Structure 1
């Protein structure tokens, strides 16, 4: 009978520990995902910004030397990610492939212009910067027109600012919620041992002596939960990298190390703080208050 009760108590203890580890792991995983999202918001925004093309259409009388010189100058400029020359013939082939028929047969000639497709580094994809670049290029005598999607550039810049702000707000709120959830799990775990705490206190044990085993136990549980969260984060990162390789999620290893280290340290810190205050609460209660 005694062995059966002992086994039941051990199973109950393991179940309690498992629920604490699981709750800490899930909360830290979600917190880590949010951290990765915050870090990669700029990277994702930069990726979309750098897909915007500024088309520089050249006049028919533009000399090959002028065109080649412009392309080389643009390629060397600090704002340029790539500068690609597109002949009117290549543009016609591409347009015909898109519409599914050769428009030159209908028109009898090729109305398109030779052009240079310019893609900028993300920092320069703002309405003000592109406007300055376009104005400078338009002044050249052999450039007929500089074209880009102005509404899209404005909308992209505005949305990036708005999304970044709300992600930061959500991060703050979620960190607070994470603390509350982990605190609740640990307090429930310690609540079941409140009579043991009070018994130890009544036989003369100091508060520090009583508190330390609980803190150490829950810090270890916090570590296990953090490791679980880190493994889940790693798996998620590998999956995302395989699905969206253009995001280059493993390019900035230092920032990833910061996120993973933060998750681990948060698991320890939150467990330590929550355990301290939970045990302190029961240590300060009178014996008759333990029943409420």
Structure 2
């Protein structure tokens, strides 16, 4: 009999409820939104990688001297349109001999045997700064470089940059739209889970009101527990995401290169904070509802 009495008291302790289902539901919802957040981060990194690989081929005049070539390189690297990575301009020199060797390796045919000479030219490959990647700006950059003495021709894949930018813009709009929908769904899921969990406490809340307890006194233990449970749900979701990330990195080659560790861990922190905040305000909303209900409405 004493055991049953203790069990009953534990069930009726103010602020306690069946939180396992709440934490599980919140963790699952936060895991989904964290997974999508990871996808957005990966997409942004992939976007940067794609844009960083837009190149121009600068072909030089034949029999150009090394001094002339150095002057051309210096003029190009001092321009705003060239991409600079870690303080180093993205410019690569490819000699005509290297180009011929690469062509032979790719095709398996040695064109110098029947031509008797190497018709290729020395070339510079430059990567373009993101702010100069529209078709009009690339055309302007092409004109600037071709005006340099010693430059024979500048080529690039026309409309590639515009096509990439257009497709990436569409993708960004779609991802943001889906993210907003997911946030709303997560809010509803966590809010409903907490509301159902607090439903079992409605008569205890009424009893506390009848003995003169203030609303702030009744709300406090529920709100404190909601912060803890929400943060725990975010921590569980972050742990699941980390495990999934490690597994994906081991299975998919090159995936880790698209990940920015600082942003990934910032996302985990955001999930913990988001879980705590959503749980807190959902609990506050539910508590205010039950505190204002009449006895008939409670039944």
Q: Which TM-score bucket, shorter chain as reference?
A: 0.7 to 0.9
Report the TM-score when normalising by structure 1. Answer: 0.84
The alignment yields a C-alpha RMSD, in angstroms, of 3.1
2:164 counterpart of 1:156: yes
Q: 1:63 aligns with which of 62, 65, 81?
A: 65
1:28-84 deviation per Cα after TM superposition (whole angstroms, max 9, x unaligned): 233334444445544321211111221011121433322221123323434323111
* Distance of 1:76 and 1:236 partners within structure 2: 44
* Distance of 1:176 and 1:107 partners within structure 2: 68
1:255-278 deviation per Cα after TM superposition (whole angstroms, max 9, x unaligned): 556534432221121111100111
Unaligned runs of 5+ in 2: 84-89
Deviation at 1:114, TM superposition (A): 1.4
Matching of residues 1-292 of structure 1 within 5 Å = 3=3, 16-39=18-41, 41-81=43-83, 82-236=90-244, 243-247=254-258, 249-250=260-261, 253=262, 255=263, 258-291=266-299
Deviation at 1:18, TM superposition (A): 1.9
* Distance of 2:9 and 2:60 partners within structure 1: 83
* Distance of 1:273 and 1:186 partners within structure 2: 10
Q: Which range moved further: 194-203 or 221-230?
A: 194-203
* Distance of 1:235 and 1:128 partners within structure 2: 45
Q: Which range moved further: 230-239 or 281-290?
A: 230-239
Cα distance 1:52–1:106, how it changes in 2: closer, same or farther (>3 A)? farther
Count of aligned pairs between the two proteins: 287
Cα distance 1:73–1:5, how it changes in 2: closer, same or farther (>3 A)? farther
Equivalent residues of 2:62, 2:122 under 8 A apart: yes
Structure having the larger proportion of residues in helix = 1
Deviation at 1:87, TM superposition (A): 1.1
* Distance of 2:54 and 2:221 partners within structure 1: 59
Cα distance 1:124–1:5, how it changes in 2: closer, same or farther (>3 A)? farther
* Distance of 1:15 and 1:22 partners within structure 2: 14
DSSP 3-state at the match of 1:112: coil
* Distance of 1:8 and 1:78 partners within structure 2: 74
Equivalent residues of 2:198, 2:286 under 8 A apart: yes
Deviation at 1:159, TM superposition (A): 1.7
DSSP 3-state at the match of 2:117: coil
Cα distance 1:41–1:8, how it changes in 2: closer, same or farther (>3 A)? farther
1:81-103 deviation per Cα after TM superposition (whole angstroms, max 9, x unaligned): 31111111111111221223323
Q: Which range moved further: 49-58 or 37-46?
A: 37-46
* Distance of 2:76 and 2:8 partners within structure 1: 75
1:158-194 deviation per Cα after TM superposition (whole angstroms, max 9, x unaligned): 1222222332233322222211111011111111222
* Distance of 1:100 and 1:189 partners within structure 2: 71
Cα distance 1:127–1:7, how it changes in 2: closer, same or farther (>3 A)? farther
Q: Which range moved further: 47-56 or 76-85?
A: 76-85
* Distance of 2:49 and 2:190 partners within structure 1: 36
Cα distance 1:126–1:147, how it changes in 2: closer, same or farther (>3 A)? same
